[in-house]
Chain A
């Protein structure tokens, strides 16, 4: 039985979509409700990244910006990361985040499920780090 389960897990990993591999590498969640719940428990914002498997700018944003060590550290420490495929995950996340342009990032307050700050299009790592700082500032202001 153990061999069967191991084999099944290996096979399912083999068939995992690139978005799942990416989520696993950067430690982002893949389910919207789980992310909101986790963020509430940890008093963090949800950093929702909307991408598409057909979108080369999204791939570059993942490779060059989101996998950058400082961005990964910041995301891990202060946010609950969540990555969704704009079309394939449609219906599993609120319509408000169905961005016409991707890649898009929404910094969401888990209490209201509203975006405090959002960015659209490819962003370089330093610019994105500044956005993360700005989002944190807005989240902290809200608590005061």
Chain B
């Protein structure tokens, strides 16, 4: 019984790491951080940007190269009565050739995940949620690039 449960959990866990996007050969990134949230000062934004960059570098991504894919981080906040709703997005943007007639080139999100949460401690909640979103991106990338 315990063995079956463990196996089921392992299987569910391994599926969870997969994303419907395909992240083969994504290596070089440029981070773009956008936020209209009042609680994020320029200093706090830099702090978050630096934290995410370090995390991604540790996972093997390279920053600062020419024509890198754009790693987009977006933080939006909306006050609803006494609560603060936070919408956090992590995406990968790149120039792609579509299958449309004429093989039209366009900028496109080739990875996009988001979280919608209530911010009790807005900065800490943002930090935690972005960490989770970037972990999911790293896992999905690892999953797609394993031999």
A residues bordering B, Cβ < 8 Å?
A: 56-57, 60, 63-64, 121-122, 124, 127
B-side binding surface: helix, strand, loop or mixed?
helix
Are B18 and A122 in contact, with the CB atoms below 8 A?
Answer: yes
Instruction: Please report the C-alpha to C-alpha distance between residue A4 and residue B123 in the assembled complex, in whole angstroms.
Output: 68
Identify the interface centre among B14, B18, B143: most chain A CB within 10 Å of its CB: B18
Contact partner, A57, options B14, B20, B144, Cβ 8 Å: B20
B124 → chain A, closest Cβ, in Å?
A: 33
Task: State which residues 7-50 of B face A: CB under 8 Å.
Answer: 11, 14-15, 18, 20-22
Are B20 and A124 in contact, with the CB atoms below 8 A?
Answer: no
Are A56 and B15 in contact, with the CB atoms below 8 A?
Answer: no
Residues of B within 8 A of A122 (CB): 15, 18, 20
Number of A-B residue pairs at CB separation under 8 A: 18
Instruction: Please report the C-alpha to C-alpha distance between residue A55 and residue B24 in the assembled complex, in whole angstroms.
Output: 19
B131 → chain A, closest Cβ, in Å?
A: 25
A67 → chain B, closest Cβ, in Å?
A: 11
Instruction: Please report the C-alpha to C-alpha distance between residue A127 and residue B13 in the assembled complex, in whole angstroms.
Output: 13
Identify the interface centre among A121, A122, A124, A127: most chain B CB within 10 Å of its CB: A124
Contact partner, B22, options A60, A121, A127, Cβ 8 Å: A60
Are A63 and B22 in contact, with the CB atoms below 8 A?
Answer: yes
Residues of A within 8 A of B22 (CB): 60, 63-64
A-side binding surface: helix, strand, loop or mixed?
helix
Instruction: Please report the C-alpha to C-alpha distance between residue A127 and residue B7 in the assembled complex, in whole angstroms.
Output: 13
B residues bordering A, Cβ < 8 Å?
A: 11, 14-15, 18, 20-22, 143-144
B79 → chain A, closest Cβ, in Å?
A: 34
Are B15 and A121 in contact, with the CB atoms below 8 A?
Answer: yes
Instruction: Please report the C-alpha to C-alpha distance between residue A78 and residue B15 in the assembled complex, in whole angstroms.
Output: 26
Instruction: Please report the C-alpha to C-alpha distance between residue A108 and residue B47 in the assembled complex, in whole angstroms.
Output: 56
B146 → chain A, closest Cβ, in Å?
A: 9
Are B14 and A60 in contact, with the CB atoms below 8 A?
Answer: no
18 interchain pairs, CB-CB under 8 A? A56-B20, A57-B20, A60-B18, A60-B20, A60-B21, A60-B22, A63-B22, A64-B22, A64-B144, A121-B15, A122-B15, A122-B18, A122-B20, A124-B14, A124-B18, A124-B143, A127-B11, A127-B14
Please name the residue on chain A nearest to B14 by beta carbon: A124
A136 → chain B, closest Cβ, in Å?
A: 21
Not counting A60-B21, A63-B22, A122-B18, a sample of 15 additional A-B residue pairs whose C-beta atoms are within 8 angstroms of each other reads A56-B20, A57-B20, A60-B18, A60-B20, A60-B22, A64-B22, A64-B144, A121-B15, A122-B15, A122-B20, A124-B14, A124-B18, A124-B143, A127-B11, A127-B14
Instruction: Please report the C-alpha to C-alpha distance between residue A108 and residue B15 in the assembled complex, in whole angstroms.
Output: 25
A107 → chain B, closest Cβ, in Å?
A: 19
Residues of B within 8 A of A127 (CB): 11, 14
